[in-house]
Amino acid sequence: MHDTDVPLIEARALSAGYGSQPVVRDLDLEVRPGEVVALLGPNGAGKTTTLRALSGGLLPMHGEARWLGEPSRAPLHRRARQGLAYVGERAVFTRLDTADNLRVGRVTTEQALELFPELAKRLRTGAGMLSGGEQQMLSLARALCRAPRVLLADELSLGLAPLVVDRLLRAVREAADRGMGALLVEQHVRKVLDIADRVYVLHRGRVTMTGTPAELRGDLDAIESSYLAEKTIHATDGFLRPIEVNAPTRKAGLRDALARAGVQRVVSLGGPGGTPPGLSDDGFHPLQRLMRWVNDE
């Protein structure tokens, strides 16, 4: 069995944020070998910030971010060499093909195909041309095939079809069964609860609920409704006339709301000229991927 006595990653009374403003406050959280831990919460709750603070991407303002049992200020690349895998946004090189993405990630195609045989026919396809699901399989293959001690993944399954989500989550569960720890930020609440050992729910930077999936089943509705924060979506109808729709940005409710409003094409998922909460200044935001999903479907 795995040594479950020492958490792989741990936050103790951790506060972290940007500039002088903490976004996540007084956080206590841990991930032990062999467990899948889900981190849930609405847009802007501080989930991505938590992952950054736990992976060395952001230094703590107060409290401790511990790595392998010790307080650590080591940057992400050093932790990566020590077995930390981070799957965030833009996790593939879109200008390289699938095989080259694996090579750059120092993963053999044999290892990757063992995990995701679906990629076999896509080895010479540019990663930018892969479907969203294939891109995430590629990112996850790059992360899991190096046998990390711990995986931190941010919205692995956003905008993906349910069967693909199952596929990705099952791969994470199997790696955890072999001893890896995983911390998953997920929007598919019910699906992730099926594979998670423990759950933290974050709201406005604080943990508001924690427990096992069994303990939280009764609160599922409350958890899911906290995801249904509405945003004004700018879109066009079939005659290219602009329309505004107030819709939940989480995928489940978004599709219905847009269909009811007769939306043909989404122009922006923020307010007027506004930045959606949680939009990071580096690379693709989950909302952008969501928008591509809506427009390409």
Ligand X SMILES: Nc1ncnc2c1ncn2[C@@H]1O[C@H](COP(=O)(O)OP(=O)(O)OP(=O)(O)O)[C@@H](O)[C@H]1O
The residue (of 101 and 249) whose beta carbon lies closer to Mg ion is: 249
The Cα 192–Cα 185 span in angstroms is 9
- CB nearer Mg ion, residue 48 or residue 157: 48
CB 21 within 8 Å of CB 38? no
Tell me which H or E stretch contains 296: helix 286-296
Residue 232, SS3 per DSSP = strand
- State the nearest-atom distance from the C-beta of 292 to ligand X, in Å: 16
Q: What is the SS3 assignment for 267?
A: strand
CB closer to Mg ion out of 69 and 283:
283
Using the minimum distance from each CB to ligand X, give the nearer residue, 282 or 296. Answer: 282
Q: Is 135 in the site for Mg ion (CB under 5 A)?
A: no
**Taking a C-beta distance cutoff of 8 angstroms, is the pair 96, 104 a contact?**
yes
Cα torsion angle, 209, 165, 137, 141, sign: positive
DSSP 259: H
Q: Which residues contact 219 (CB under 8 A, 6 or more apart)?
A: 209
Restricted to residues 137-166, the positions that interact with Mg ion (CB under 5 A) are: none
Of the candidate spans 47-55, 132-140, 205-213, 254-262, the one that interacts with Mg ion by CB under 5 A turns out to be 47-55
Closest to ligand X by CB, 262 or 270 = 270
- Residue holding tokens 């093909």? 97
Q: Which does 271 bind (CB under 5 to 8 A by kind): Mg ion, ligand X, none?
A: none
- Contact residues toward ligand X (CB under 6 A) are 18, 23, 41, 43-49, 277-278, 280-281, 286
CB of 171 to Mg ion, least distance (A): 21
Q: What's the sign of the alpha-carbon dihedral 216, 219, 222, 225?
A: positive
Using CB distances below 5 to 8 A depending on partner kind, what does residue 43 bind out of ligand X, Mg ion, none? ligand X
Give dist(CA 172, CA 133) in Å, integer: 15
| Minimum separation from the CB atom of position 220 to ligand X (A) | 18
Q: 116, exposed or middle or buried, with CB in 10 Å at 0-12, 13-18, 19+?
A: buried
> Do residues 125 and 257 lie in contact, with contact meaning Cβ atoms separated by under 8 Å?
no
Q: Residue 44 binds which entry of Mg ion, ligand X, none, with Cβ cut-offs from 5 to 8 Å by kind? A: ligand X
State the pairing for strand pair 36-40/181-185. Answer: parallel
Nearest position to ligand X, beta carbon: 278
Q: Strands 150-154 and 181-185: what pairing?
A: parallel
Residue 105 interaction partner, one of Mg ion, ligand X, none, beta carbon < 5-8 Å per kind: none
Instruction: Choose among Mg ion, ligand X, none what residue 139 binds, the Cβ cut-off being 5 to 8 Å by kind.
Output: none
Name the binder of 18 from Mg ion, ligand X, none, CB < 5-8 A by kind: ligand X
Q: Which of 48, 98, 135, 249 binds Mg ion (CB under 5 A)?
A: 48
Number of residues counted as binding Mg ion (CB under 5 A): 2
Part of the chain binding Mg ion (CB under 5 A), chosen from 39-47, 124-132, 164-172, 287-295: 39-47
Which entry of ligand X, Mg ion, none binds 46, CB below 5 to 8 A by partner kind?
A: ligand X
Binding site for Mg ion (CB under 5 A): 47-48
